[in-house]
Structure 1
Amino acid sequence: MYREDANRAWSYSGSKIKIAPDSATTVNDLHYEDFSDPGNAAAGVWSRHPGTAATDLIRFNKARMDTFDAATRRMVAAHELGHALGLCHKSGSGRNAVQSVMWPEAARYPDAPTDVDKANHRRLWG
């Protein structure tokens, strides 16, 4: 469920991002999994596994995600996939605040990539 939300968020109109399902002829370069740890404050965690044919990992903490409304779950999912796509946390305050799905606090960012996120991704990948 969370994976589909993340993929949908980054598959916006005009996006060059094409997230294909794994098959016998594709390389698995991103893996999703769920875990449940009520003592862990993180709702989602991304980690990079370097090396040849590396697989990035996005883990969703169901103990946290299941307490959120649908919009917040979409925010967390889009945020973690943003990390896998190479984007870092964004910050700011007041009139200099950057509206971004890459805010580090789930309650503060939108549930889909903003124009800032899309521009940052284009800078990384063309």
Structure 2
Amino acid sequence: MDGREITWDDETRFDDARRYATRVWTSKSLKQVKIRPDDARSWADVEWQDVTSTGPTWHKVYGRWAARRSTDVIQLNRAYLESGKPLGADVHRRRVAAHELGHALGFCHKSLSHDSLMWEYYSDIKAGKIDGPTSQDIKDYHRLWG
């Protein structure tokens, strides 16, 4: 992240989910951090990628954010999120993408004591029907970003 801006490079077939994640983290009062595509004058802060794996490190892992020295990576797992797969619907892809973008914004996993898009397990987010930042997530955002 450069100051209060995240630029991204698009390498995912789930563009709708990426657009949704950007929209929910920049709507209403969440304007302190700009999230936009990179261009010829910028270096991508986050690269969106697809992975297709159910192996040991990806068993029931639908998405993953990884901090890197230069460009962070958000990976969405096609093995679960592709159409026809267990979570192959827009609602699931959008939730996973929004959760992972939350990590890029600086948020860690939250305890179950408050509703949060940043709960560690997707099954909890799904059961809570959490589709974007909750009131607690918004408070945390403003605590971190003003």
* TM-score normalised to structure 2 length: 0.75
1:8 is aligned to 2:27: no
Q: Is the 8 A contact 1:72 1:107 kept in 2?
A: no
**Structure 1 residues not aligned, in runs of 5+:** none
CA RMSD of aligned residues (A): 1.4
1:112 equivalent among 121, 126, 132: 132
1:77 is aligned to 2:93: no
Whole-Å separation in 2 of the counterparts to 1:9 and 1:74: 10
Whole-Å separation in 1 of the counterparts to 2:144 and 2:106: 8
Whole-Å separation in 2 of the counterparts to 1:104 and 1:72: 15
Whole-Å separation in 2 of the counterparts to 1:103 and 1:82: 11
* TM-score normalised to structure 1 length: 0.86
Whole-Å separation in 1 of the counterparts to 2:120 and 2:131: 13
**Structure 2 residues not aligned, in runs of 5+:** 1-14
Fraction of identical pairs, as percent: 40
Whole-Å separation in 2 of the counterparts to 1:84 and 1:78: 10
One-letter amino acid of the structure 1 residue matched with residue 75 of structure 2: R
One-letter amino acid of the structure 2 residue matched with residue 115 of structure 1: S
1:49 is aligned to 2:65: no
Greater fraction strand:
2
Report how far residue 36 of structure 1 moved. Answer: 0.6
Whole-Å separation in 1 of the counterparts to 2:41 and 2:95: 31
Report how far residue 123 of structure 1 moved. Answer: 1.2
- Alignment length (residue pairs): 119
